[in-house]
Amino acid sequence: MKVNFSKRSNFVKASEIRELLKLTELPEVISFAGGLPAPELFPVQEMVEACETVLTESGMIALQYGTTEGYKPLRELTVEMMKKNGIHAAFTDVLITSGSQQGLDLTGKAFLDEGDLVFCESPTYLAAINAFQAYMPKFVEIPMDEDGMVMEELERLLMSGMRPKFIYTVPDFQNPSGRTMSLERRKRLMELADAYDIIIVEDNPYGELCFEGEKLPAIKHFDKDGRVIYLSTFSKTFSPGLRLGWVSAKEEILQKYVLFKQGTDLHTNLFAQMVLVAFVRSHDFQAHIRKIRDVYERRRNLMLQTIQEEFPKDIKVTNPQGGLFLWVELPEGLNSRELLVKCLKNNVAFVPGGSFFANGGRENTMRLNYSNMQEERIVDGIRRMAIVLKEEMGGHGAIEAAVTL
Amino acid sequence: MKVNFSKRSNFVKASEIRELLKLTELPEVISFAGGLPAPELFPVQEMVEACETVLTESGMIALQYGTTEGYKPLRELTVEMMKKNGIHAAFTDVLITSGSQQGLDLTGKAFLDEGDLVFCESPTYLAAINAFQAYMPKFVEIPMDEDGMVMEELERLLMSGMRPKFIYTVPDFQNPSGRTMSLERRKRLMELADAYDIIIVEDNPYGELCFEGEKLPAIKHFDKDGRVIYLSTFSKTFSPGLRLGWVSAKEEILQKYVLFKQGTDLHTNLFAQMVLVAFVRSHDFQAHIRKIRDVYERRRNLMLQTIQEEFPKDIKVTNPQGGLFLWVELPEGLNSRELLVKCLKNNVAFVPGGSFFANGGRENTMRLNYSNMQEERIVDGIRRMAIVLKEEMGGHGAIEAAVTL
């Protein structure tokens, strides 16, 4: 028999890297590849109590069908979380999603027809590319520097007449680069979006995990017309396994998301929504987030320090002020996919950076995750990588590195 | 500002009926409108134990990201469930979904391009229409009788040259009609699908809730080529709030679903998957399902009996052998949307049947749910409906009814 899939099915392919990275599940492999939170910080015992509270007090509600929009007290909690980022929303402006990944899928569904343009950072979040890809847009990559998306490049494209359905950005501690968009650029992005009447999709999963520097207001803080669609998640502050995220947007837009979500999965797990609320009601959520932040900051410091001590000198690495990831640029000509194969032989893994470019390329980059690895394994893993890098870069004229070796 | 949604956004509209039915949440309204399980049968106390077991034994796994395919022991459980329906699958043939609603959405994503044909029963499951609608197919309705989809009609369309991307069917205790496809027709459907090389999407949320008669094998039981995609759910046997369903299909197809699910929500709530497995391991799941079945059977009996006693005589009603719903056909010319408005004034509600026809029409039908209502309220509610019906049908020549009145 012949199976006739939809046209969009040709755009989603199993990734060879994902297959390679399955090897990272072996216990002997030190993996900087995932984007996973540190599981030892999950509030397991507190969850036992929260589950019992919810089931005892309202089990018949928690296990029944819920509303598509989400559990009202959880929507109210997201309003509080957003307030800290300078966003003033009502709970009716919020849709609870099955992880913020679903917010990305619903964004594609609500906005993208085949051939539409999506502007995104270069590099950008891999799973956002995957989510949008299913709606067959064309991606236009906007270059970044240490202050995030370069506004002159964005303006140049807009002035040339290009009109995206939306601009997708992760302004805080971006995945994969760890970079943060500066305050000035946030304002400028808003001005350009206003001037050219463009929607912004602001994806902020990591904003709560700010180690240092001033916490910047969300882009949505500067939004007067309701053109910013704001996505966030509890995956990095509570638990990814529960799949709880949210979308906040003005009514006209949110209403479409709600209708599409109805057709997609009816509603998000209601028990999980209620358990999270029960946890927040009886514990200090901010203190819990600070605990996570402190651990990740220590791990970032250690990874960065070890890289500076061990890696050949002509390798560049970002210095993220929060979040989960470091971004590494190797000298031109090096291919991180090939490096990964060699690193796996040394029982250490990372994600080759090429996958984070919507239109491919830039194979001399890599993403390193520090949140999910105990301190001594961080040092060990970076040293293992350094050995491979030094071997490789011998032929790239890195005399200093060769000397170190 | 002007918001440019995708073309598909024009196909999803807020339903006026859904708005009307919001009124049914008032406590004084007896609602036969929802499709909700009886919450008093949820295993609340057992859930407390299951949550504690999962968290205590493997909290760091349960709260972490999981695999897209789903938790292996839960996939194995679905294999056991399917075996009872004559389906022989391995756990690798199963993808855990966020409710079977997500199985419908992924089906649309994987198969449908704009203008593609979907064959479905007439009437069919409303939320399947919604899910597929987002991919802009054309629906072709196949008439039903008491034995389900009429095969002569299906064959006539196939012989005329029409080729759907798939045939969507709910063969067991269909939502909304309560009808079951006969054994002979199941075999015939498979023969036709084989002969014309067509995919079948078999949606079976209610199969476990069989009150009487022989339990028929799934259509997939007769599937030699892997052309049947089988969807099911734990919403009716355990809890809808947890959003746990599954898809079983051959590898070539399932692989696409997995890739699309990755982009859609990464994976289904892992904690919920593990809690369900913990419940099943320490309790008699089949006994739990029997308990549900017995209660629903009693409620069906009572609703049917009260309808026969109270409704005007020229109203037709199905006699479902399982599931959650009765289907009512009023005399031609009566409009159940208008009746709903009048019934709501009498504090009783149902879903007008027109919404269950993919291309609209048939406004003289209605769906009644009996699973979610206590016995005395069933009698009371049907009597309230009968009053409205008798008033309406006075002008429709229902002398017998008028006399009863």
Pairwise pLDDT comparison (A381 vs B405), residue with the higher score: A381
Is A44-282 CATH 1.10.3720.10?
A: no
Establish, for the pair of chains A and B, how many residue pairs have beta carbons separated by less than 8 Å: 239
Smallest Cβ–Cβ distance between A269 and the set B12, B165, B241 belongs to B241
Is B110–A9 a contact, with Cβ atoms under 8 angstroms apart?
Answer: yes
Whether the ω angle into residue B123 lies within 30 degrees of 0, i.e. cis, is yes
Q: Does B63 touch chain A (CB under 8 A)?
A: yes
Taking the Cβ of residue A99 and every Cβ of chain B, the question of whether any pair is shorter than 8 Å is answered with yes
pLDDT at A395: 52
Q: Is A260 in CB contact (< 8 Å) with chain B?
A: yes
Question: Nearest residue of A to residue B251 by CA position?
Answer: A3
Least confident of A8-12, A357-361, B12-16, B180-184: B12-16
The CATH number assigned to the domain with range B11-42+287-404 reads 3.90.1150.10
pLDDT confidence of residue A13: 78
* Residue B324 to residue B41: CA distance in whole angstroms: 14
Q: Supply the mean pLDDT for chain A.
A: 94
pLDDT of residue B403: 34
In this complex, do A6 and B113 lie within 8 Å of one another by their Cβ atoms?
yes
Cβ within 8 Å, pair B47-A55:
yes
Q: Which of A4, A102, A259 sits opposite B165 (nearest CB)?
A: A4
Interface predicted TM-score (ipTM): 0.95
Contact between chains at B9 and A110 (C-beta distance less than 8 A): yes
Beta strands in B75-116 (DSSP E): 94-97
State whether residue B262 sits within 8 Å of chain A by CB: yes
pLDDT digits (tens, 9 = 90+) for A100-144: 999 999 999 999 999 999 999 999 999 999 999 999 999 999 999
What confidence score (pLDDT) does residue A404 get?
31
3-class SS string, chain A: CCCCCCHHHHHCCCCHHHHHHHHHHCCCCEECCCCCCCHHHCCHHHHHHHHHHHHHHHHHHHCCCCCCCCCHHHHHHHHHHHHCCCCCCCHHHEEEECHHHHHHHHHHHHHCCCCCEEEEEECCCHHHHHHHHCCCCEEEEEEEECCEECHHHHHHHHHCCCCCCEEEECCCCCCCCCCCCCHHHHHHHHHHHHHHCCEEEEECCCCCCECCCCCCCCHHHHCCCCCEEEEEECCCCCCCCCCCEEEECCHHHHHHHHHHHHHHHCCCCHHHHHHHHHHHHHCCHHHHHHHHHHHHHHHHHHHHHHHHHHCCCCCEECCCCECCEEEEECCCCCCHHHHHHHHHHCCEECEEHHHHCCCCCCCCEEEEECCCCCHHHHHHHHHHHHHHHHHHHHHHCCHHHHHHC
Nearest CA in chain A to B37: A64
Map out the domains of chain B as residue ranges. Answer: 11-42+287-404, 44-282
Per DSSP, the three-state class of B104 is helix
Does the pLDDT at position A310 exceed 90? yes
Residues of A in contact with B241 (CB under 8 A): 62-66, 269-271
CA distance B380 to B388: 13
* pLDDT of A400 above 50: no
Best of B5, B24, B45 to disrupt the A interface by mutation (most A CBs within 10 Å)?
B5
Q: Chain A within 8 Å of B52 (Cβ-Cβ)?
A: yes
A259 touching chain B per CB within 8 A: yes
- Quote the pLDDT of residue A397: 46
Contacts 24+ apart (CB under 8 A), B312-315: B312/B386, B312/B389, B312/B390, B312/B393, B312/B398, B312/B400, B312/B401, B312/B404, B313/B398, B313/B400, B313/B401, B314/B393, B314/B396, B314/B398, B314/B400, B314/B401, B315/B389
pLDDT in tens, chain B (405 residues): 889 999 999 988 777 677 777 777 788 999 999 889 999 999 999 999 999 999 999 999 999 999 999 999 999 999 999 999 999 999 999 999 999 999 999 999 999 999 999 999 999 999 999 999 999 999 999 999 999 999 999 999 999 999 999 999 999 999 999 999 999 999 999 999 999 999 999 999 999 999 998 899 999 999 999 999 999 999 999 999 999 999 999 999 999 999 999 999 999 999 999 999 999 999 999 999 999 999 999 999 999 999 999 999 899 999 999 999 999 999 999 999 999 999 999 999 999 999 999 998 899 999 999 999 999 999 999 999 999 999 988 755 444 433 332
pLDDT at B402: 33
Tens digits of residue pLDDT in A13-70: 777 677 777 777 788 999 999 889 999 999 999 999 999 999 999 999 999 999 999 9
Question: Which residues in B lie closer than 8 A to residue A11 (C-beta atoms)?
Answer: none
Q: Are A134 and B263 within 8 A, CB to CB?
A: yes
Q: Do the chains contact at A51 and B51, CB–CB below 8 Å?
A: yes
A241–B112 CB contact, under 8 Å: no
The DSSP element (H or E) to which B278 belongs, if any, is: helix B270-282
Residue B360 — left, alpha, or beta (φ > 0 → left; ψ -120 to 50 → alpha)?
left
CB contacts of A224 in chain B (<8 Å) are: none
Partner B contacted by A53 (CB < 8 A) = no
Using the Cβ of B242 and the Cβ atoms of chain A, whether some distance falls under 8 Å is answered with: yes
Separation CA B108–CA B20 (nearest Å):
28
Contact residues, chain B, for A263 at CB < 8 Å: 12, 101, 104-105, 127, 130-131, 133-134
Q: What is the pLDDT of residue A15?
A: 73
Instruction: Say yes or no for a CB contact (<8 Å) between B265 and A34.
Output: no
- Smallest Cβ distance to B242: which of A99, A127, A269? A269
CB contact under 8 A, A239 and B266: no
Q: Name the CATH topology of A12-42+287-404.
A: Aspartate Aminotransferase, domain 1 (3.90.1150)
A276 Cα to chain B: minimum distance (Å): 12
| pLDDT interval class at A399 (50, 70, 90) | very low
**Cβ separation of A4 and B111 shorter than 8 Å?**
yes
Quick one: pLDDT at residue B398?
Answer: 44
* Alpha carbon distance B90, B87 (integer Å): 10
Q: Does B5 touch chain A (CB under 8 A)?
A: yes
Of the residues A72, A228, A271, A374, the best mutation for testing chain B's interface (the one with the most B CB atoms within 10 Å of its CB) is A271
What's the gap in Å between the CA of A386 and the closest CA on chain B? 29
- What residues of A are in contact with residue B55 (Cβ under 8 Å)? 44-45, 47-48, 51
B243 touches chain A (CB under 8 A): yes
Q: How much is the pLDDT for B404?
A: 31
Q: What is the dihedral of CA B115, B191, B260, B114, to 10 degrees?
A: 0
B contact residues 185-214, partner A, Cβ 8 Å cutoff: 197, 199
pLDDT at residue A217 in the model: 98
